[in-house]
Amino acid sequence: MNITLLGKNALVGGSSKGIGEAITKQLAASGANVTLMARNEEKMKAIISLLPSDQGQKHQYLVVDFSNFETYKSTMRSFFNQHSIDILVNNTQGPAAGGALEKKVEDYQQAFDLLFKSVVYTTALAVENMQKKGWGRIINVASISVKEPLNYLALSNSIRAAVVTWAKSLAFDVAKDGITVNNVLTGYFDTDRIAQLNSKKAEKLGISASEVKANMEAQVPMKRIGDPKEYGFLVAFLASEQAAYITGINIPIDGGLLKSL
């Protein structure tokens, strides 16, 4: 099966590192024109310099701050006034770790703005042109915690669950327009985010970060954590014509970690 995204325009959130960077590289390798979207301009410039352009692709970046919703809205309005997108990958940095009793109402509101409002707003802008074209792909980077909540990620558990149920409703509404909407439920991947969470957990438990990572790997049936490249492969498939009949679903990518159906 040859996946080609030649001529498609993709917008990828959180693309300066980790999973977002891996998705960006695979979409570009598959022929898409990619717009990177993150806070770190220098990192995005460096990534663009490495992206393939042998098929005539043109790549660009957009500096955004997901944690400031009003500023984010303004930036996105300006972008979509000048560009149309075929593939939207909704991905942001995660909110701060912590249990349900550690978080205040204000923390939940900030997480809601970061993880939910930004996704809904960006998608609404993207969908308008997708409907005109009769083709589109919306892919939300979510977490396995929407099925099996992680007690130390109360904010992420709560708000990402809202995202995936909203996406199910959206998938129904836009299916007739040739637009698919899917959620990828992220397991343990070798990223800075995991390293930061492991460091905090290690400090709390009084053990080393390497022990925390080893314990994490032991929980996964495949006995390893994922390579972000593997994530990119899945997203490229979901963005392709070959995935045209797949919509409204949650796809875990976790090495078999989830125990629920």
Spell out the residues 6+ positions from residue 73 whose beta carbon is closer than 8 angstroms to its own.
Answer: 121
Is 152 known to be catalytic?
Answer: yes
Domains and CATH numbers, the chain: 9-189+227-253 (3.40.50.720), 191-225 (no CATH)
Counting beta carbons within 10 angstroms of the beta carbon of residue 230, is it exposed (0 to 12), middle (13 to 18) or buried (19 or more)?
Answer: middle
Q: What pLDDT is stored for residue 203 in this prediction?
A: 87
pLDDT over 90 (residue 244): yes
State the pairing for strand pair 87-90/136-143: parallel
Contact between 109 and 95 under an 8 Å Cβ cutoff? The reply is no
Spell out the residues 6+ positions from residue 251 whose beta carbon is closer than 8 angstroms to its own.
Answer: 182, 183, 184, 185, 234, 238
pLDDT in tens, 124-146: 999 999 999 999 999 999 999 99
Percent of the chain at pLDDT > 90 equals: 89
pLDDT in tens, 6-35: 999 999 999 999 999 999 999 999 999 999
46: Cα separation from own chain's centroid: 20
Q: Please tell me the distance from the alpha carbon of residue 173 to that of residue 176, in angstroms, as a whole number.
A: 7
Select which of 121, 152, 231, 245 is catalytic. 152
Query: How many helices (H) and strands (E) in the chain?
Result: 9, 7
